Amino acid sequence: MVDAGVVEQASSSSVHEPRLEILELGSGPTLLFLNAGMGLDPGSAALELLARHARVIAPSHPGFGRSERPRALTTVEDLSYFYLDFLDERDLRDVTLVGVSFGAWIAAEIAVKSTVRLSRLVLADAVGIKVGDRQTRDIADIFAMTESEFNAAAFANAEVGTLDYKAMSDAEVLAVAQNRESLARFAWSPYMHNPKLRGRLHRINVATLFLWGANDRIVSETYGRSYCARVPNARFELIHEAGHLPQIEQPQIFAQKILGFMGRGIYP
């Protein structure tokens, strides 16, 4: 087991061996968890619940948290190749790949390139594609929102997302700012999607589960169902009383659905 927040050296020369902040806990089948743009939460209840039945590996993406970002990594496609190398370097097999929001976009980009090391894919409140026409905004512009506006759109209960900056350490406040900056670097233009990804989703050939917060006002249920329809044999499940980050608002249901999908529990 690796303690929460450990920073370790990656071994892939193709990504200039960045140092990564990685949370690793539990034992059993491997689950690689790709976080949303808000970064790694070492105290995540959802990850702790998943770790009761799986070996959970949750890195901070390069440039997020305490993870270094090589200059060569500038796009989400770059991040997908980084994680393909990560899977190879660690010789991880039969991996359940789970992504939330921005992390789900990365997971989808990985899966359209190669599923050799994957057994299942879970995409929760994913961004990454354009489903409407040029005049339709599919994904709310989070960079134009105040923090309170974002919380109202991202959570069923806006208070859940409220941060008490006065109670946070300087390092924690810095991490919040760095995560937001890195998210903008990777997802600003084109905004929160890869125009080519939608046409590649048919390449995903592993069992896929879409999880969606019923109260998500960043990306709607309609967007999610359209996304899901483009992945062969994918299934779509709503999580009620949750918004864009269901692992935070409904960690038990979130974990239960994933473990059930993995055959490690009772699927609701």
Mean pLDDT, 10 residues at a time, over the chain (268 residues)? 42 55 96 94 94 97 93 95 97 98 98 98 98 91 96 96 92 92 95 97 98 98 98 97 98 97 69
User: So what's the pLDDT on residue 18?
Assistant: 77
Outline where 155-267 has alpha helix (H).
Answer: 170-187, 221-229, 246-249, 251-261
Q: Are 101 and 213 within 8 A, CB to CB?
A: no
Distance of CA 252 to the CA centre of its chain: 17
User: So what's the pLDDT on residue 264?
Assistant: 73
Q: Which residue has the tokens 């789970």?
A: 98
User: So what's the pLDDT on residue 42?
Assistant: 87
Distance CA 97, CA 230 (A): 18
Per-domain residue ranges for the chain?
Answer: 2-261
Q: Report the b/e string of 85-108 with b at 16+ CB within 10 A.
A: bbbeebebeebbbbbbbbbbbbbb
**Looking at the DSSP assignment, which residues form a beta bridge with residue 20?**
8
Q: DSSP assignment, residue 128?
A: B
| pTM score of the predicted model | 0.92
Spatial neighbors of 186 by CB under 8 A, at least 6 apart, are: 63, 74, 75, 76, 79, 102
Amino acid at 93: R
Distance CA 230, CA 220 (A): 16
Q: Are 201 and 137 within 8 A, CB to CB?
A: no
Fold of 2-261: Rossmann fold (3.40.50)
Tokens of 259: 């473990």
Angle value at C-alpha 42, between 123 and 141, nearest 5 degrees: 50
Q: Are 260 and 267 within 8 A, CB to CB?
A: yes
Half-sphere exposure at residue 246, Cβ-oriented, CA atoms within 13 angstroms: 31
Spatial neighbors of 223 by CB under 8 A, at least 6 apart, are: 131, 138, 139
Spatial neighbors of 211 by CB under 8 A, at least 6 apart, are: 122, 123, 124, 125, 237, 239, 246, 254, 257, 258
User: Exposure of 213 by Cβ count < 10 A (0-12 exposed, 13-18 middle, 19+ buried)?
Assistant: buried
Phi, psi of 134, rounded to the nearest 5 degrees: -65, -25
